[in-house]
Structure formats: structure tokens, C-alpha cells
């Protein structure tokens, strides 16, 4: 029995290791970024406040998707002939953009100094690793499940749409992360992290999700491969943010103004 438990635990670790290595490869960067990626991968698995803030949004999205089927019952054949999958894919933005705020709140306000003493050339490398680890560990697995569901209903033809929606989710996630208060992970009190602008932020998220979904759907209606134009656009924006913007936005001078050591 102990042997079976040991082998089961080993296989579970192997599966986790494969997913971790794949995620780390996709977000390949310099050594500083990879180190912060590994650190955040372990931290978010143990941070209870992060899960309490993120998991309810996943439940809310599931309810939103299911409610659409309950309110307007429709056959699978009729559904497969429409573009309802656009709504399903872009409603996932509500989960993705919850991650930046979830990374702020925690009980480690007195341990942020450890990031300050790390000999790194730019704090931007740390923050890139932080958000990439959180996005890949908590968002991508759930998005894959939703993507498989969408493929089952609408077929392989929607695979490019799934990729585009994933790129949009990542783009808006890093935008929200780099534009919010530049505090180190889990170092801000929960009440302070929530702030007074939660309602405004939610309205902005809804507007961006609706705009991105509307643009995607409009290009599909324009002509059958119109959605492919979004791949180079989103790709260029992501590269610009990760290679140029973040290094100008996040400096030690900026971080020293909002973090307590």
C-alpha cells in the first residue's frame, strides 16, 4: 500500500513537473526572470489569500456560462452554427484580470525587504516572472478545459480563436498588473489591496472584454479568416510590453515609493 502511495505521489509530481517545465519554457527569459518564476510558482501554491481572491471569480464565470444555456435553451446543432464560443472565450477575461489584484494582498508585508536585497539588474525581471507564473499556474489549466469544451461543440476550426482569446487574456493581464500599484507579491493588506476603485476597475474590465470580443466577432463576420489579423497585433503588443514598457514602468525608484521594507 505504501508502495502504491509512493508511486502515485511520484507520478503526480512528474505531471506537475512536466506542466511547470512547459510553462517555464513558454515564458523563457533571463536568469532573473526564471528565478522569480520558480519562486512565485511555489509561493502561490501556499498562499491562502491568493486562492480566496481568485477561486470565487472562477465559480462566477462558470455560473455566467451555465446561466446562458438555462435562460435560452438551444440545441447543440444550432449552437455549433453560431459564434457563441466568442462569449465563452472572452468571459474568461474576468478570471485573467483578477490575478494582478490577487497577487497584491497577503500577510507578507514585513518580508518585502528580501526582494530589495536580491542582486538583480531591474525589478521588472522579478515582476515579469511573478505574473507569468501566476497566469500559467492558475489561468491556463482552466482555460485549456474551456478550450477543449469549445472544440468539442464547435470543432477544430475554432482553435485559432482559442489561441487569440488566450493572447488577449494574457495581454490584458499584464497590462492590469503593470499599471496597478507596484507592490511586491502578497505584501499589501487585504483592505488596502481592494481599494476604493474596485467598481470602476470592474467596469473597465467589462468594457475591455466586450470590446475585445466584439472586435474578434466582427472580424469573423467580415471574412472567414479575419480573426487571424489579431494574432500579429496582440503578439506585437505583448512583445512591446514585456521587452520595452515594463522596464520603463518598473524601476527601483518607483518601487521604493510604494513598498515598505
- pLDDT single digits (tens) 6-16: 444 444 444 45
Look-up of cell digits 477543449: 148
**Residues in a beta bridge with 105:** 188
Residues 45-66 pLDDT 10s: 777 778 777 777 777 777 877 7
User: Are the C-beta atoms of residues 68 and 87 closer than 8 Å to each other?
Assistant: yes
Q: Which residues of 210-222 are buried (b: 16+ CB within 10 A; e: fewer)?
A: eebbebbbebbee
Q: Give yes or no for residue 168 having a pLDDT over 90.
A: yes
Strand stretches in 90-155, DSSP E: none
Q: Please report the pLDDT score of residue 119 as a whole number.
A: 78
pTM over 0.75: yes
Amino acid at each position: 500500500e505504501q508502495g502504491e502511495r509512493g508511486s502515485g505521489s511520484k507520478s503526480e509530481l512528474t505531471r506537475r513537473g512536466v506542466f511547470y517545465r512547459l510553462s517555464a519554457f513558454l515564458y523563457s527569459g533571463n536568469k532573473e526572470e526564471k528565478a522569480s518564476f520558480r519562486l512565485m510558482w511555489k509561493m502561490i501554491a501556499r498562499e491562502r489569500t491568493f486562492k480566496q481572491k481568485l477561486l470565487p471569480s472562477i465559480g462566477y464565470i462558470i455560473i455566467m456560462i451555465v446561466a446562458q444555456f438555462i435562460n435560452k435553451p438551444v440545441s447543440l446543432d444550432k449552437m455549433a452554427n453560431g459564434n457563441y464560443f466568442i462569449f465563452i472565450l472572452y468571459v474568461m477575461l474576468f478570471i485573467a484580470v483578477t490575478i494582478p489584484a490577487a497577487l497584491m494582498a497577503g500577510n507578507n508585508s514585513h518580508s518585502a525587504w528580501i526582494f530589495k536585497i536580491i542582486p538583480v539588474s531591474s525589478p521588472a525581471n522579478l515582476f515579469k516572472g511573478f505574473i507569468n507564473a501566476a497566469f500559467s499556474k492558475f489561468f491556463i489549466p482552466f482555460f485549456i478545459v474551456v478550450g477543449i469544451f469549445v472544440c468539442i461543440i464547435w470543432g477544430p476550426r475554432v482553435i485559432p480563436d482559442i489561441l487569440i482569446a488566450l493572447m488577449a487574456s494574457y495581454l490584458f493581464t499584464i497590462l492590469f498588473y503593470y499599471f496597478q500599484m507596484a507592490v511586491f507579491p502578497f505584501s499589501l493588506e487585504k483592505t488596502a489591496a481592494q481599494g476604493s476603485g474596485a467598481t470602476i476597475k470592474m467596469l473597465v474590465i467589462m468594457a475591455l472584454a466586450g470590446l475585445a470580443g466584439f472586435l474578434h466577432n466582427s472580424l469573423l463576420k467580415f471574412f472567414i479568416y479575419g480573426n487571424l489579423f489579431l494574432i500579429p497585433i496582440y503578439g506585437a503588443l505583448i512583445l512591446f510590453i514585456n521587452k520595452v514598457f515594463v522596464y520603463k514602468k518598473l524601476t527601483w525608484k518607483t518601487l521604493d515609493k510604494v513598498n515598505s521594507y
